[in-house]
Structure 1
Amino acid sequence: MRFKKEFDFVGVSKYFYSFSIILTIVGFISLGVFGLNYGVDFKAGSNVDISTSKALTSAEILPILDEIGIGEDASITPGEQRTNIRFTELLDEEHDHALKAAILKLDETASFEINTVDTEMAKELGRNAIYAVLLSCIGIIIYVGIRFEWRFAMAAILALLHDAFLVITIFSIFQLEVDLIFITAVLTIIGYSINDTIVIFDRIRENLRFSKTKTHDDLVVVVNKSVNQMILRSLYTALTVFIAAFFLFIFGGESIRMFSLAMVIGLIFGAYSSIFIASPFWVLLKSKQKNQKTSNPSKA
């Protein structure tokens, strides 16, 4: 199924490139000014999640922390039945017991989940997260380069880096917490993005077999035809996964909320980049090859 009149995706790509470049610049500025709101996984300290039968306010909790002597480095995020307290220092056993005892006086049904990360572990987790993303990108370049050609690989990497970076940008702008769950979401987004992109690339390669592409315009025709043939499939697939991720974000537990939000954002950018970024960028790279062959016919 396709549109009755083929849409010129390559022709309008310059507007989407401009939009993406603006978002990328905003992302670099945000990362430079605000940075990322690292969770306890990447930042030494203790993270205390408290589940209660009633809502606890910061005004109730802060005096308790001050009395114990741990209020200065605490950040409190109250909720209806779940309160989060983050400490930049590790809680020792004495403070741990004192905090639990004081909270239980406010709510006898309270339960606690405490995560602690020391400085060395935080650094190691951060390095491993970067390595995971880089290795996945390298693996994708090798796979796409072997299955298609290096120009497809470069276009695919541009698209997935675009998606991952824009998700990071959103989290930086709104100072949403970045933890190991977030890294899992980014890797999932990369996998989804490359899958969606390869589906379109596969159709481009198939149509190239039955087309004589001697000029830039010939390539544009093939790519527009291929994207028009596959766009509804890509949009339906993205919409299906988007709906699942969206309702996970709305109704899911607190522990997977940031994962679901990152997936929702990544799915939107993933569908967008596969259509408006990756394919037109491949045309740009392939056109340079055609121009070289035209200027050097003896090497064609």
Structure 2
Amino acid sequence: MSFKNFNYVGKSKIFFIFSIVITVLGLVFLLMRGLNYGVDFRSGSNVDISFKQQLTSEQVQPVLNEIGIGEDASITEGTDRINIRFSDVLSEDQDSKLRSAVQKLDPSATFEVNTVDPEMAKELGRNAIYAVLLSCIGIIIYVSIRFEWRFALAAIVALLHDAFVVVSIFSILGLEVDLTFIIAVLTIIGYSINDTIVIFDRIRENLRFAKIKRRSDLVELVNKSLSQTIGRSIYTALSVFIAALFMLILGGESIRMFSLAICIGLLIGAYSSIFIASPLWLVLKGKNVSNKPQKAVKPNKDKIEI
């Protein structure tokens, strides 16, 4: 089976159901568990400790208890670093005691402390939501002007689908959500709309020269348009995915969640552009086209042949 002969529209119900299941599952996890917000979106202090000697949470936890901040600490171990998150902002005295106590375990330990107060956390959260909403509104306006409202509606549903699936996966896996995650979501939206626009442009181009008399003609047109652009969509997504994958494997801890979100979003974006956006446009457009097969023209029996 080749991509050119694949019936994308005929399988659209399967893909719609698959996406709905993922969306419902993600919604359940978001309501039950929520998101694992980083220090950017909730007040507190985030301490990254890099070391040469191997330190474990079992070694660090008693030190925190001695200082009196152990109950408020959440420790995550890495290969050569430890991350400690505090829901309250550390005072200068607590910060100084923490540095002195850890350096007794490893004198070469280096610290990176990020602190966000409650007001700043709320402001960052609001700005992140505004950024996503404004980008979606801008895309709706752009697609509506360049194409038509059906294309715009299909595109924005696909974009929201991409963003929500990435958020859901982070919720299910309990991965940390910070500002780099929001940047990743906006990047995913950009790649996804670019891929969707290429497919929509081909559909519109083929629509100019097609004679659409019934829905089956429209189905054939969409399948033809997808087969003409799917190679480009896959190769573009794959090339960027490989770069993001190496960033995930070889990059530092600070960009790991960003790289992971990009990898997931690229795959979901390519999937939605092909299997969600275009079939959804067909559903909207098909309401104006008859589903009945064209009647065959009966020969005129009264015609006299000479």
TM range (shorter): over 0.9
Partner of 2:29: 30
Higher helix share: 1
Partner of 1:298: none
Partner of 1:247: 246
Partner of 2:17: 18
SS at match of 2:111: strand
Cα distance, 1:115–1:234 mapped onto 2, change above 3 Å? same
Partner of 2:100: 101
TM-score (norm. length: structure 2): 0.93
Partner of 1:259: 258
Deviations 1:263-296 (A, max 9, x none): 000011001000000000000000113359xxxx
Partner of 2:230: 231
How far apart are 1:243 and its partner, in Å?
Answer: 0.5
CA distance in 2, matches of 1:153, 1:55: 54
Contact 2:226–2:274 (8 Å) recurs in 1: yes
How far apart are 1:109 and its partner, in Å?
Answer: 1.3
Partner of 2:301: none
CA distance in 2, matches of 1:213, 1:101: 76
Matching of residue 70 in structure 1 with residue 85 in structure 2: no
Structure 1 residues not aligned, in runs of 5+: 293-300
Partner of 1:179: 178
> After the TM superposition, which residues 91-240 of structure 1 pair with which residues of structure 2 at under 5 Å, given as runs?
91-240=90-239
Contact 2:206–2:221 (8 Å) recurs in 1: yes
Contact 1:40–1:115 (8 Å) recurs in 2: yes
Cα distance, 1:41–1:4 mapped onto 2, change above 3 Å? closer
CA distance in 1, matches of 2:87, 2:290: 58
How far apart are 1:4 and its partner, in Å?
Answer: 7.5
Partner of 2:294: none
Contact 1:55–1:79 (8 Å) recurs in 2: no
SS at match of 2:213: coil
CA distance in 2, matches of 1:149, 1:262: 31
Deviations 1:22-47 (A, max 9, x none): 00000110001000000000011000
How far apart are 1:54 and its partner, in Å?
Answer: 2.5
Deviations 1:75-129 (A, max 9, x none): 0001121110000000000000000111111111111110011111111111110
Deviations 1:30-81 (A, max 9, x none): 0010000000000110000011113210111001100000001100001121
Contact 1:56–1:80 (8 Å) recurs in 2: no
CA distance in 1, matches of 2:211, 2:99: 73
- Which deviates further from its counterpart, 270-279 or 51-60? 51-60
CA distance in 1, matches of 2:79, 2:203: 51
- Which deviates further from its counterpart, 52-61 or 274-283? 52-61
How far apart are 1:236 and its partner, in Å?
Answer: 0.5
SS at match of 2:289: helix
CA distance in 1, matches of 2:48, 2:61: 15
Equivalent AA in structure 2 for residue 271 of structure 1: A
Deviations 1:237-262 (A, max 9, x none): 11101101111101100000000000
Contact 2:33–2:171 (8 Å) recurs in 1: yes
Partner of 1:296: none
CA distance in 2, matches of 1:172, 1:49: 23
Contact 1:54–1:80 (8 Å) recurs in 2: no
Contact 1:55–1:78 (8 Å) recurs in 2: no
Partner of 2:302: none
CA distance in 2, matches of 1:289, 1:86: 56
Structure 2 residues not aligned, in runs of 5+: 292-306
SS at match of 1:28: helix
Equivalent AA in structure 2 for residue 133 of structure 1: V
Contact 2:3–2:227 (8 Å) recurs in 1: no
CA distance in 2, matches of 1:164, 1:223: 25
Equivalent AA in structure 2 for residue 166 of structure 1: V
Matching of residue 81 in structure 1 with residue 80 in structure 2: yes
Partner of 1:297: none
Equivalent AA in structure 2 for residue 61 of structure 1: V
The structure with the larger Rg is 2
Q: How many residues align?
A: 291
Equivalent AA in structure 2 for residue 262 of structure 1: A
SS at match of 2:54: coil
Equivalent AA in structure 1 for residue 283 of structure 2: L
TM-score (norm. length: structure 1): 0.95
CA distance in 1, matches of 2:111, 2:5: 57
